[in-house]
Amino acid sequence: MERRRLATIWLGGCSGCHMSFLDLDEWLFELAQHIDLVYSPLADVKEYPDHVDVALVEGAVANEDHLHLIRQVRERTRILIAFGDCAVTGNVTALRNPLGAPEALLHTIYIERAEIAGCLPHAPGIVPQLLDKVQPVHKVVPVDVYLPGCPPPAPRIRALLEQVIAGEDIRLTGREMIKFG
């Protein structure tokens, strides 16, 4: 059977979706027979590679680095999966949106509440600018599959990956696969 090139990406989120992926536990051994993990925060490849079959994208788009990466992921990936409620809806990551422009938010945290001389985080090319609004992935690039959950439980992830391995068109139906929260 053909090996799939799998990537997992962390944008603005808590990493619970990645932890739920690791909650696949010993089934990871079976998964390893069928996939090559070509990019992941759990691995040391730094540049997102070409010709990725499936990408699991955790988290919402909250800063310039996320924006750049997700566009690159979309360009180089056949099937992009919004993985977890932050990627699908913005969820907790988007709770800052009602507060308005990030400048005021940063000012409150780093200057008003600083105990000794405060200053705003600013290092061009290193500390990424926050976007005005946190956005779910589909607002930025086309998404092929939505896998909700906070986080998606391991059995749901497994059911999805079994379809990936089989090379089927991915279909998620029923409460067990598409419930939020």
Partner 1 sequence: MPATRQILIDPVTRIEGHAKISIHLDDNGEVREARFHVTEFRGFERFCEGRPFWEMPGITARICGICPVSHLLASAKAGDALLSVTIPPAAEKLRRLMNLGQMVQSHALSFFHLSAPDLLLGFDSDPAQRNVFGLMAADPTLARAGIRLRQFGQDIIAMLGGSKIHPAWAVPGGVRSAPTAVQRADIAQRLPEARATVLDALRRFKALLDTHHAEVATFGNFPSLFLGLVGPHGEWEHYDGRLRVVDAGGAIIADQVEPSRYRDIIAEAVEPWSYLKMPYYRARGYPAGMYRVGPLARLNICTRIGTLLADAELGEMRQRAGGIATSSFYYHYARLVEILAALERISLLLDDPDLDSLRLRAEAGLNQFEGIGVSEAPRGTLFHHYTVDAHGLIQSVNLIIATGHNNLAMNRTIAQIARHYVKGDQISEGALNRVEAGIRAYDPCLSCSTHAAGTMPLVVTLIAADGTVLDEVRR
Nearest to residue 21, comparing CAs of 34, 31, 11?
31
Closest to partner 1 by CB, 30 vs 167, is 30
Quote the least distance from Cβ 142 to partner 1, whole Å: 19
Distance CA 153, CA 15 (A): 13
Quote the least distance from Cβ 169 to partner 1, whole Å: 26
Quote the least distance from Cβ 174 to partner 1, whole Å: 19
Distance CA 117, CA 101 (A): 23
Length of the chain: 181
Q: Do residues 82 and 55 touch, judged by C-beta distance below 8 A?
A: no
By CB under 8 A, name the binding residues for partner 1: 9-20, 22-23, 25-26, 28-29, 32, 37, 40-47, 59, 62-63, 65-66, 68-69, 72, 92-93, 95-96, 98-99, 102, 105-106, 108-110, 113-116, 118-123, 125-128, 130, 150-151, 153-154
